[in-house]
Structure 1
Amino acid sequence: MGMAYGVLARAAGLSIWETGAMSLMVFAGASQFIAVGLIGASAAIIPIVLTTFVVNVRHVLMSSVMATYFKGQPLRTLIPLSAQLTDESFALAMADTSRMAGKPRFQIALQMTAYSAWVGGSVAGAFFGSLVDSASYGIPFAMTALFICLLVPQIRSRSHLVVAIVAGAVALIFKEMLPNNLYIIVAAVAAALVGLWLTQARGKPVKTIETVGENN
C-alpha cells in the first residue's frame, strides 16, 4: 500500500524526498492518497488541508474506542498510541481485543511495524514510480481494495452486516451532497449509532454467524 502511495505521489509531481517526508510526518494513508490527488489536480493549499482534516476526524472515533483498553496508562504511552493509530492497526486490534487490553507494548509494536512498512514502501514506490504506469496496474484502486479487505473479516454477525450496509448506503447518498468528503464522517456516525442501537437497545447479545451455523 505504501508503494502504491509512492507511485501516485511521484505521478502528482512530488519528489522522492517529499513523498517520504509526508509519510514520516503525516502517516495517514487515506489522507495522503487524497492529498496527492488534490496536489496533482493543482488544488490550493486550504482545500487540501481542510479535506485531509475532515477525513482524519474518523480517528477521533477509533481512538475513543482504543482508549477504553488503555485506561490508567501514562501520557508517554498514550502519545505514540494515538499518533500512530491507523485503520489497519485498529482493525487488527479489534479482531482480537484480548491481545490488546492492558498491553500497550503489543499495540505499539504493531503500529511501529505498520509505520516502518508504510514509510519504507512509500520511498520504494516513489523511487520506482517512474517505471510504472499507475493506471494500467489499477494502483488508484489500491486504497479501496484495502478497506474492503479490512471490512470483510470483521463482518461476523448479522448486526455487523447491517452496520456495514448502513455505512455504505449513507456514504453513497451523501457523497455528492456534502463538500470536502464530509460524507465519510456522516456515514461513520450513522453506522456507529446503528451499531449502538443493535447491541444495546435490544438488550440481548449479538448472535454471530458462526453460532447460527452451529445451531442449524
Structure 2
Amino acid sequence: MKPDAMLRSDIVAELNFDPVITATDVGVIVKDGVVTLTGYPSSHAEKHAIERAVQRVKGVKAVAIEMRVKLPSAHERTDVDIAAAAEHALEWHVLVPEDKIHPIVEKGWVTLRGEVEWEYQRSAAEVAVRDLLGVAGLTNRVVVKPKFTPADIEERIRTALERQADDESRHIHISVMGSDVSLRGKVHSWAERKAAQDAAWSAPGVANVVNNLLVGD
C-alpha cells in the first residue's frame, strides 16, 4: 500500500495539474488511504473537479468531502436568475428529454426533480446545470423509471463488464433488486472500480448503484 505521505503528495500534484482547480483552496488529509478534503472552492464546478481529480489518483481507497462552496461576490446570483438559467440549460441540452426535469433553487442550491427512462438522461441534466454561474450546490433527485426485468439488467451489466474488462469481470458479483444494483468484489484500482460502476449505470432501467467493490492489489 502506498504510504500516506506519498499519496498526499500525489494528490496535491494532481490538483495542481488540473487547470480548473485552485489548489490553495483545498486542504488534503490522508490516513490509511482515506482522503479527507477541506476548504472553500469558489464554485460548484471547481468542487466537482476536485473530487474527480482525487479519485484519479492511484491508491485512494475512499474520499470524505468536507468542502463548502464559497462564491465570490461577483459570482453571486439570485435564486430566480439561477432557476431561469438552469431551465434554459436543460432545454438546450440535447440529451435531456423535454419537460421531464425541473430545477428548484434555494439559496443557490439546485435540486433537480423529474422522471426519465435512462441514467444517461439523469446524468446529462446534472452536467447541464452543475457549472452554471451562481450554483453553490446540486442535488439530483431525478428518478430513472425502470422498464426492464432484473434479469435483463444483470445480463446487460455482465456483458458490458466482459467487453470492457474481461479479467476484472470474473471477480465482480452483481446483485439486482428491482432497479437497484449492488456490486461486490475486488478490483486493482479506483479507475477499475469506477469503470465497473459506469458499466452498471449504463444498463437501461438502473435507478441506483451501490458500489461495494474494494480496491487493492
Name the TM tier (shorter chain). Answer: under 0.3
Tell me: higher relative CO, structure 1 or 2? Use CA pairs within 8 A at least 6 residues apart: 1
Greater helix share, structure number: 1
Q: TM-score, normalised by structure 1?
A: 0.27
